[in-house]
Amino acid sequence: MTTLHHEHPTHEHAHGPSCGHQAVPHGDHVDYAHDGHLHREHSGHWDECETPDHTTHEAHAHAHGPDCGHESVAHGDHVDYVHDGHRHAEHDGHYDDH
């Protein structure tokens, strides 16, 4: 899974284990939920972490929602749910891995 490179140019906050923002494992790095999007450190700056691919999460029997028990993360025009070490987003009757 590749990640688009969208630098977050005015990011003055240093994310880390005790920064107060939700850490979300994402492939080979950790994203931090901040201001409605996800940040990752990259080459001395912070990027907004987005994947360009549509990746369907196969065989997802759990329905996510406000009372599902999984942490929600605002992500653009929708909400992702942190589940099994990645983010799920409802899309066209199935869930995508973000």
- Tell me the pLDDT tens digit for each residue of 22-35: 787 777 888 888 77
Q: Distance between CA atoms of 8 and 12, rounded to whole angstroms?
A: 10
Could you tell me the residue range of the domain that residue 86 belongs to?
A: 4-97
How many structural domains compose the chain? 1
Mean pLDDT of all residues belonging to the chain: 76
Rounded to two decimals, the pTM is 0.59
Residue 7 banded pLDDT, cuts 50, 70, 90 = low
Q: What's residue 47's pLDDT?
A: 76
Residue 62 banded pLDDT, cuts 50, 70, 90 = confident
**36 φ/ψ sector (left φ>0, alpha ψ -120 to 50, else beta):** left
